[in-house]
Structure 1
Amino acid sequence: MSRPVDERALRAVPTLPKVVLHDHLDGGLRPQTVLDLAAEAGHVLPAQTADELGRWFEQAASSGTLVRYLETFDHTTAVMQTADALRRVAREAALDLAADGVVYAEQRYAPEQHLAGGLSLDEVVVAVQEGFAEGEREAAQRGTPIRTGTLLTAMRHADRGVEIAELTLRHYGSASGGAVVGFDIAGAEDGFPPTRQQEAFDLLHAHGVPVTIHAGEAAGVDSVHGAVHACSAQRVGHGVRLLEDVEGTGPEAVPGRLAAWVRDRRIPLELCPSSNVQTGAATSVAEHGIGALRDLGVVVTVNTDNRLMSATSMSREMELLVREAGWTLDDLEAATVAAARGAFLPHAQRELLVEEVVRPGFAAARA
């Protein structure tokens, strides 16, 4: 029996403080920005107006497979090959997230995909950080402060993992906006296990740099196993297919060894409901595994993945969970606190985020 819709939660969503840990920089461009930058770069797009282009991205990404979903990024990365373009995209990402109530965001991108215009890997990182710093300053002036952190991503099908890990070490913890806070691998998951980048993970662990790994989206529990055991990930990107290691449903659900390990070690899952439906990792938001994993005691967080491709925002993801999955204000708060505590920030800063921003914001919504 489905839970009734929590109308109070729906009314509160636009004003709630939000924390997003899984949001791709090259998946969150404004459609008009794609048009503008494509015109400058001479890149041909499949649509010529912002509205048409936005619809094209969403429809093309809703193919039901991760491979087709990833093809849409050919257009966004193509227009992000100069320092000016990268600064603009990062600045606008910070402003758009802040306008949606996001108070802390971790943005991920693969520097190796932005070299066609002649930039070096380090120049890519500097341009993105400058853009986020600009966006943070503007957001604060508008009364919607946001803090951003960036995750440098290596493409799992390529062989540049160690090089991107070294890049991460060079920029880790820099003081400017958009400071590099960790490392990630992304791209085609099936057939490219995280252990292919084992040397990169070993290097980062040796220097105390946190990592998250895309796993359990297009590939199953073996991918999650490799991420958390062989590669010692502090978080798992997506991870919805961890449910394949759970026997039974509801109160009778029993976790297998891997699911129990993820639960008991409090390894957060960066779940992305709308995106998972688009790629076929979930049949609907109502049937998404985020609720079952939460009920099992796994640490779950709510994320957007790619705001352009899913035509979504943190507010929309929360509203869908309330309307279709029966989530309450308490559920939203628990997931937001989990995200804040799972952020790749120093412990004291995470607790300040929880106690001075997240909890007061939810308390105000209840009042």
Structure 2
Amino acid sequence: MLCMALTPLPVCAAEMDNILQAAGVTSMLETKLSTEEYIAFAQQAQGAAWGYTNIGIANVESGNLNVREIPSTDGKMVGKMPKHSACEVLEIADGWAHIQSGEVEGYVSTDYLLTGPDAKLKANEIVRTVVVVNGDGLNVREAPDTESAILTQVASGEEMDYLETLDGWIKVAVDADEAYVSAEYVTVEEKLDTAITMTELLYGQGVSDVRVDLVEYAKQFVGNRYVWGGTSLTKGADCSGFVLSIFKKYGISLPHHAASQAGYGTKISAGDLQPGDLVFYGNKRGSINHVAIYIGGGQVVHASNERTGIKISNYTYRTPVKYVRLLQD
């Protein structure tokens, strides 16, 4: 365990290397930081846990890290770890790590997995503070006041990004909007994302090939950036830009505006939802301000906000206001 005195002593370059190598922080050696900063990083990494004994972090440029049933590229896929998602590393052998991430257990290539202090340092950078809803139908308001307008309702167990604690209220991000919830009905906690199960990636029977293809295409961008006004699936898109670019590949032209997109296609009910249909969200007055693509299994993929990027959520993570079908098959 590294210790640092209240008044840091001078450390020569060779001693600094030895300290860092002993701590296992080899990736930090090329960074232009002071000795004290290096040591502080190492101490911080050693103290971080988030419920993990031996943490691993998916280290892919974009997309997902495949989790397989056996330690082989021929192994059946049992899940996917989005970029920067976390796992418990159970064992490492022959270039493969046996991991547990959320509900997914399997093997990933160590070429794309940070482990040890490097993983803890990365976790320190990417950990998110979230607000977890403790009761059904939590009102999300425009201002920290029970008389303020209700923007939407959020179901029990759903998460919102934490922004600030006020007197009896928590300021949150609901997709790209800022809003407020009563602190009495939520819990604030730190979270690292985990793997997506194959169940979350499957479709119902009777779904057309084009719907399966569209949804699979959309999901490969999970973990990529959210950029306001953007339409790039790799460099960044906002909610309507993400939908616009996905459907463009399938010959459907849409405007770059969620409320305008809601005017296209055929309005359907929640019970008629199929993978590839659109789910729209808004405030209690019905003004649409967000759009997502239904992927089956009660879930949507969408460009949420700058903190979470493109992600998968339950389609009722907030109250939907409209469902639309663009694919007529």
**Fold match, TM over 0.5?**
no
Structure showing greater radius of gyration is 2
TM-score by length of 2: 0.25
TM, length-normalised to structure 1: 0.23
Give the number of the structure whose residues are more often strand, by fraction: 2
Higher RCO (CA 8 Å, separation ≥ 6 residues): 1
The structure where helix makes up a greater share of residues is: 1
